[in-house]
A and B are shown apart, each in its own frame.
Chain A
Amino acid sequence: MKAVLTQNLSKTYTGSKNAVDHIEFSLEQGEVFGFLGPNGAGKTTTIKLLCGMLAPSEGSCRVFDLDPAQNPEKLHQLSGVITEHAQMYDHLTGLENLVFYGTLFGVNAAECEKRANVLLERLGLVDAQDRKLAAYSTGMRQRLSLARAMIHSPRILFLDEPTSGLDPESAQNVNSLIRELSVDGTTIFLCTHQLRYAQEICTTYGLIDEGTLLATGNIQRLRAMVFSGVVVHVKASRMPDGLVYQKTGEHTYDITVNSEDEIPPIVKGIVEAGGNIYHISTHRMSLEEIYFSLIDRRKAGKEGENDE
């Protein structure tokens, strides 16, 4: 059974164009899926479709083989959701909030408290647990939201920008928590703008722009869509004749190769030509570079269409 499966999933809000336009992808259980795209790309709409908050205009989606539009209550029992607008009660303390939401999911009060204590400890909120939520900072609220989404031990977590407003240390902490969860089999659906952060924890990705899914797959697959080669940075006193390179500075050069196997002959060539090598490193396209390249490519494609 797939954790998430969408087929031709589309959502059109009345009087506007498609917020989500015929997207298809599937997630295995335990996958950490990074759903990436600019603001207004359709990420939050997709989460809402997958949680049954919106009914698809066309196509379908299934989460653990449940149709979110038909069986939202059953699905909510299995899922934890963090979105910008899913806040908690200011007049309750951190602990009271967690216990309340736990009870709402059918967990008994004693068990709720036990789980809440573990989560508060894990997210560094123990000192603040008896403080009213009104006194919490943005980062603390965000961490408490994560605890709230996990209080009923869901099988899938939908996280919309879970690290926005977090300091680097807390973000790191949340990252390792997400990784632990995925090791234990929890599927994570993560929407974010922070691409470096996504690259740290996600196993697969989906790139969306203006409702259209541009690419899905793991980083190798995405890289293959743009450029699968390796760029070798070299700092050497001289370069042999006949080698194709790009000079990037004084004695620094970039050489593009198709695979790492091509690197030793290059090194040999430089040495044999009498050059001294001071530095050599390889660089593969990061998620960020792939992302921008795919988004740019789409923009260029659209401009091309318009010109015709």
Chain B
Amino acid sequence: MFHGETKIQGQAITIKIGNIEKQKRFVVIGNGIAGMSAAYAIRKLQKESKIKIISEEPNPTYSHCVLPDYLSGEISRDRVFVREFPDYLRKNIQLIKSKKAISLDLERKNVILQAEKIAYDKLIIATGSKPIIPPIKGINKKGVFTFKSIEDADGICTWEGCTAVVIGSGPIGIEASLALKRKGYKVFLIELLDRILPQVFDDYPASLIREVLEVNGIDVATQERVVEILGRESVEGVVSDRRVIKCDTVILATGMRPEKELVEGILELGKLGGIKVNQRMGTNIQDVYACGDCAEAQSLIDGRPILSLLWHNARQQGEVAGSNAAGIPRAYVGSLNITAVDVFDLKAVSIGDIGASLASGLDIIEVRRNGGYRRLVLSNGVLVGVQSISWDEDLGLFLSAILGKEKVKTYKDLMPFRRLPFRFLKQFPFDRKLQSVRGGVNLGRDQFF
């Protein structure tokens, strides 16, 4: 095997061994989970290449999913971070922090920062997403927060307030209001549409979650539009089309949109506003890949392009993009919604599509057992989604049924095994056991070989 670099007239040339090219320069823009996974995937396949991650933030990679737990004080700030600075050094990945990529020079293969240029052979864009700021009057006042980054969480932690209005009831809105409630705030949750969690739950399960929220003292209002935020410098109240709420904190959780400022006009964008990618996470430009929240990948269920702003999809996309950039072809299976929300004692899980998003061929099976509720969504007889309220065992079966595109008629079709119950111990005919197993219990495997 031939390793290392050969220099001919001062120029470094790459040596190809099989499909793997060595000594390439990889640049990853964005240090979220997608970018970090991509860098790690490259390092796993190529021990010698140079990998640089450009990050706007001064932190190592952290998890957005556990920010509500940090906000409510359940976990310490250190545990939000999933990597530390020495981890990057150990993997020989150079982290360029607190620097923003301004534009791309695709012809000369450069990423342009404010003061410098970074050359690349393969580029991975993982810029992530940013919160949508709705056009509400007085949105720039002190005490109005978005809830996406750790700086936002820090800001809310240090802000002294006691009444909060959360605008938007997606998973982020729900988790933010739960965290604030646990922190001792009085919380108002305002949603524009007719139910809470409109993207991940249907009417009835959403109403069950809403009930639990209201019982525990969160004021939930649907079909209400926030018109104005009152106050001189900081927030003093919120005006909606129905009422005026006195408050000192406003959390905007009205959704996320892909961060595409860097690539606008350079790369091809999809209809939904993300960077258009193929199955290998490649963009329309060669040697440029995109992954994570900013990419518009295909859905696992029907292959239509969707924006998936979820952690596990970003991680898988990052690994696929890194692997392809490193020269090992790998296809992305597709994005799938898996959302779990812990609302006090109730655990609500939604996997796959919801009934409201399907137009035709829709069929729904509802099961209630032991206070739990489960709703299977079928499209033309094929399971495409499941929503489960306070009944979280065996959910993996549904996930594998969705992945396997199984045809389902009744709920029992999905239950292949009977679990061994403890009463079985009493019922078991022990004489028969000894007969039925050839050679008996004590003979062991050696008798047969």
Co-complex (A, B): no
Chain A interfacial positions (CB closer than 8 Å to B)? none
